Amino acid sequence: MQNNRNEKVYLQHLHIEHAQALLDLRLHNHEYLQPFEPIRDASYFTVEGQEKDIQTGLGDKDLISSQLFGIFLTDSNELVGRAALTGIARGPFQNANLGYFIGQDQQGRGYMTEAVRLCVQYAFEELDLHRVQAGVMPKNTPSLRVLEKVGFRSEGLAKRYLRINGVWEDHQLFAITREDWE
C-alpha cells in the first residue's frame, strides 16, 4: 500500500494477528456502534469471529471482493477504527462500497475523515476503481460530514435500504468517482 499514511492516521490491511485488537475495539465500543450496525450473532464478537471477518479481505487485491483496513494513529500505532471496501465489482462497473467506524473516544478529531481520504485514494490508485459509494443513515450526522469533507456527492435517499440494529433504515447514498477525485 503506497501513500497510506498522513500526520494523523495510517491504514494497514488487517491480518489475522489484528483479530484480538479489533475485537477489543468492537467490544469497548459496542453500545456506541450498535445503533449503526446490523445485529450480529454472538460468535461475531469472538477472536475467531474477527479472524473470519478479516479473512474475507485477504488474497490478491485484483481478485478478492473486499479490502479491510485497520485505522491506526500515526503517533502511537493504536488501532482506533476500521475502513472497508466491499462488494468490489470489476468489469464495466469498477466500483466498491465503503464502510467505516471509529471508536467513540476518537470521534471528532478528524481521524475518520483522513482515513476515508486514504481509503478512497487506495481505491482509485491501487485498485484502479472508477467509483466508490457509501450509504449513511440520515441521523448519523458525523458520518455524513466525513463523506462531504472528502468530496462525496449525495445521490439520493434509499428507503429501507439496510437492516440496522433490527430495523430497516433509510440511507442517504453518496458516491465519488475518479473524475471527482482528480
Domain ranges of the chain: 9-133
Spatial separation of the C-alpha atoms in residues 180 and 129, rounded to whole Å: 13
DSSP string, 120-161: HHHHHHTS--SEEEEEE-TT-HHHHHHHHHHT-EEEEEEEEE
Spatial separation of the C-alpha atoms in residues 122 and 114, rounded to whole Å: 12
User: Is residue 2 pLDDT above 60, yes or no?
Assistant: no
Beta-sheet pairing, 95-102 with 131-136: parallel
Question: What's this model's pTM, rounded to 2 decimal places?
Answer: 0.93
Span 47-56, pLDDT tens digits:
999 999 999 8
C-alpha cell at 134: 457509501
- What pLDDT, on the 0 to 100 scale, is given for residue 4? 83
Spatial separation of the C-alpha atoms in residues 25 and 74, rounded to whole Å: 17
C-alpha cell at 173: 447514498
User: Is residue 26 pLDDT above 70, yes or no?
Assistant: yes
Strand order in the sheet with 131-136: 9-13, 67-73, 79-89, 95-102, 131-136, 167-177, 153-164
Span 42-92, pLDDT tens digits:
999 999 999 999 998 888 887 789 999 999 999 999 999 999 999 999 999
Q: Return the residue matching grid coordinates 491506526.
A: 72
Q: Which of 91, 84, 170, 167 is nearest to 132 (CA)?
A: 84
Spatial separation of the C-alpha atoms in residues 34 and 41, rounded to whole Å: 13
User: Is residue 153 pLDDT above 90, yes or no?
Assistant: yes
Right CATH number for 9-133 from 3.40.630.30, 3.30.360.10, 1.10.287.90, 4.10.780.10?
Answer: 3.40.630.30
C-alpha cell at 72: 491506526
- Which residues, in sequence order, are bridge partners of residue 133? 97, 175
- What pLDDT, on the 0 to 100 scale, is given for residue 60? 81
Q: Is residue 3 very low, low, confident or very high in pLDDT (cuts 50, 70, 90)?
A: low
H or E element that contains 86: strand 79-89
Using the 8-state DSSP alphabet, how is residue 45 labeled? G
Spatial separation of the C-alpha atoms in residues 182 and 173, rounded to whole Å: 21
Q: What is the mean pLDDT of the chain?
A: 95
Residue range 117-143: mean pLDDT, rounded: 97
